[in-house]
């Protein structure tokens, strides 16, 4: 089996030509290999069936960005897969995939322990298991900003609420993100100005409050973008 895999990879190299080994070239090689093998014949479909029990909603959904599948990449069982149709379930912190040829019998919920990282909608996610953060999830965090001293992780999440309408139960989903900064080999929550001051005691309270005040419109419209700006500001301060 290993010999056959090597032969197929060599054939994939021939399919795309002898290109220089940039990241893009590597992705083309893996994509060509997956086409030759068929994703269903790889370990990527080592998971369980996903069924969404919250179908009657107010128009909101439980997923990251969109309810439908989009092309992304994933590292599963230490194997990199480009151009995979997937979506990210923020309610239960799971990655769901579907065959690109629409031939799969069911949507596959991947085993979280086998996922190292994935990318979707231009955003990169990693699995962190040693944060000591009391989150009830599978450990996926968006790697939103990486600086010299600070790294910002966003715990993308949604919560569900229920409302009885006639004889039906209508479900509604709202964002419930949490923010973590990695600083001096420690993961710290920074959801509030108080958290920021606790992590960075060298900052004066008025500095933090002034930043929040200056960017209050961004804070209201796009909290993720606000937190990235905040971390960049803090990075400049501590350096």
- The predicted-structure confidence for 64-82, as pLDDT tens digits, reads as follows 998 999 999 999 999 999 9
Q: Do 220 and 155 sit in the same domain of this protein?
A: no
Q: Do 48 and 19 sit in the same domain of this protein?
A: no
Q: Do 22 and 70 sit in the same domain of this protein?
A: no
Contact 56, 169 (CB under 8 A): yes
Q: Do 114 and 25 sit in the same domain of this protein?
A: no
pTM of the prediction?
Answer: 0.81
For position 105, what pLDDT does the model report? 56
Angle (CA) 209-212-218 rounded to 5° is 175
For position 13, what pLDDT does the model report? 44
Number of domains the chain is built from: 3
- What is the spatial distance between Cα 131 and Cα 134, in angstroms, rounded to a whole number? 9
**Structural domain boundaries enclosing 1:** 1-37
Residues with Cβ within 8 Å of 200's Cβ and at least 6 positions away in sequence, in order, are 234, 237, 238
Q: Do 56 and 173 sit in the same domain of this protein?
A: yes
Q: Do 29 and 112 sit in the same domain of this protein?
A: no
For position 130, what pLDDT does the model report? 79
For position 155, what pLDDT does the model report? 96
For position 37, what pLDDT does the model report? 47
Which residues of the chain are modeled with pLDDT < 70?
1-42, 100-105
Q: Do 71 and 158 sit in the same domain of this protein?
A: yes
Element (DSSP H or E) covering residue 33: helix 23-37
Q: Do 120 and 70 sit in the same domain of this protein?
A: yes
For position 4, what pLDDT does the model report? 45
For position 133, what pLDDT does the model report? 78
């Amino acid at each position: 089996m290993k010999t056959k895999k090597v032969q197929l990879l060599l054939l994939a190299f021939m399919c795309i030509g002898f290109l220089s080994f940039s990241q893009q070239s590597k992705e083309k090689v893996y994509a060509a290999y997956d086409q030759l093998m068929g994703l269903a014949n790889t370990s990527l479909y080592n998971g369980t069936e996903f069924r969404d029990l919250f179908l009657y909603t107010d128009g909101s959904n439980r997923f990251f960005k969109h309810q439908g599948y989009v092309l992304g990449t994933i590292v599963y069982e230490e194997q990199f897969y480009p151009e995979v149709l997937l979506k990210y379930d923020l309610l239960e912190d799971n990655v769901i995939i579907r065959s690109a040829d629409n031939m799969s019998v069911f949507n596959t919920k991947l085993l979280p322990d086998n996922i190292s990282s994935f990318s979707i909608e231009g955003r990169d996610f990693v699995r962190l298991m040693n944060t000591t953060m009391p989150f009830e999830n599978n450990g996926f965090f968006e790697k939103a900003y990486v600086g010299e001293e600070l790294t910002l992780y966003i715990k993308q999440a949604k919560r569900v609420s229920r409302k009885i309408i006639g004889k039906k139960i209508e479900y509604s989903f709202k964002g419930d993100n949490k923010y973590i900064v990695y600083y001096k080999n420690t993961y710290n929550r920074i959801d509030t100005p108080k958290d920021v001051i606790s992590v960075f005691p060298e900052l004066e309270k008025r500095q933090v409050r002034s930043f929040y005040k200056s960017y209050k419109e961004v804070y209201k419209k796009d909290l993720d973008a606000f937190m990235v700006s905040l971390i960049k500001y803090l990075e400049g301060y501590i350096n």
